[in-house]
Amino acid sequence: MFLTTFVNPMLAGQIKGKRNSLGLSLQDLSDRTLLDPSLLSRYENGNRLPTREHVLRLSRALALDEEDLLVLWMKEKLQKVLDEEPGETIRHKALYALRPKDSEPEENGKQQERKLESRLMDWRGRWNKLAELYPVEQASVYQEAVFTWCGYFGSLSGLEWQEEDYRKVLEQGMTLPGVPLKEHLKAWSVFQVICGMLEETETQKPDTVGDKLGLSWEGILPPFQPLRSLKKCGEQLQALNPVFPKDREQQTAKLCYLLMGLLLARFPLIAHPNLMQTDFRDPGEFGEILLAGLRRMVESIEER
């Protein structure tokens, strides 16, 4: 995913904020640094990253800590390189290669993630096996999860329905007394979005679906997703269906990411009370929630 412009708000904000606090004009700063005012303006607007030499000049002219400013500059320079690399896997491998070699705690964390992923694989295997042995029971449990996800998405669209309300309307074809027709239509609209995603992942290659939403799930536990991917994800969902309000774009994007991530990883739509409260970018925390939810679904079938 290539970016046409590079915005570096932290460094730009430091420079512009300090210049304004000192009461200096761009021309004043130009006189101090011997840099063209138009170039300084681009630095302050975040449209261009300064050179190292220019960062040093700016730090001296504005009495900013030289080391702190260089750290910001280096961070944003590296981020620019990462943003210009379209391959998610390449970015992750490059970051992993840059890690300190003596980072034993990080290695322990990786081992824990691998163990967690192995447990998830085992439980997913049990789920798939039960689907072959007890297709009717499995379908019933899965349908319950779909209604739970209707509740997740419905809450973002302004519906305050219970899971049982979705079941009555969507499964039994009933209408809820005293509830406007508009809300019933909105519930159907939410249900169609979920069904559409289910169908899309079944009929297309996961990579195709993931590219469309700017997502990439490798294995089972999700890699860190930059905010721009989440934003794209939310925009795509809102384009699919206008019932999701603009002011809830971030929450909508997160929910869409979770749904599509599970489908791309060939997981059932795991329903868990703490699913929406977890930090899905933390593989350990998120993985444990997935494991608990998947275990509950498997055990629901085994108990029937």
- CB under 8 Å to 54, separation ≥6 — which residues? 33, 35, 43
* Percent of the chain residues topping a pLDDT of 90: 13
**Residue 80 is encoded by which pair of tokens?**
């620019």
Res. 296: pLDDT tops 90? no
Burial of 27 (0-12, 13-18, 19+ CB in 10 A): exposed
User: Which range is least confidently modeled, 10-19, 115-124, 154-163, 247-256?
Assistant: 247-256
The pLDDT of 205-221, averaged and rounded, is: 52
> Quick one: pLDDT at residue 280?
64
Q: What is the 3-state secondary structure (H, E, C) of 243-281?
A: CCCHHHHHHHHHHHHHHHHHHHCCCCCCCCCCHHHCCCC
- Residue pLDDT, tens place only, 127-136: 888 888 888 8
Q: What is the pLDDT of residue 8?
A: 42
Q: Which residue has the higher pLDDT, 191 or 220?
A: 191
CA distance 276 to 297: 17
Q: In the structure, what pLDDT confidence band is assigned to residue 107 with cuts at 50, 70 and 90? A: low
More confident position, 55 or 224: 55
Residue 41 above 80 pLDDT? yes
Could you give the 3-state DSSP secondary structure of residue 301? helix
Q: How many CB atoms lie within 10 A of CB 293?
A: 23
Q: What angle do CA 276, 153, 186 make, to 5 degrees?
A: 165
Residue 256 has pLDDT above 90, yes or no: no
**Residue 27 pLDDT more than 90?**
yes
What is the chain's mean pLDDT, rounded? 75
- pLDDT > 60? residue 220: no
**For the whole model, what pTM was predicted?**
0.53
DSSP assignment of 50-112: PPHHHHHHHHHHTT--HHHHHHHHHHHHHHHHHHT---HHHHHHHHHHTS-TT-HHHHHHHHH
User: Measured between alpha carbons, how far is 16 from 44 in angstroms, rounded to an integer?
Assistant: 5
Residue scoring higher pLDDT (202 or 292): 292
Q: How confident is the model over 158-195, as pLDDT tens digits? A: 788 888 898 899 888 899 999 999 889 888 888 887 77
Q: Evaluate if residue 228 carries a pLDDT over 50.
A: no
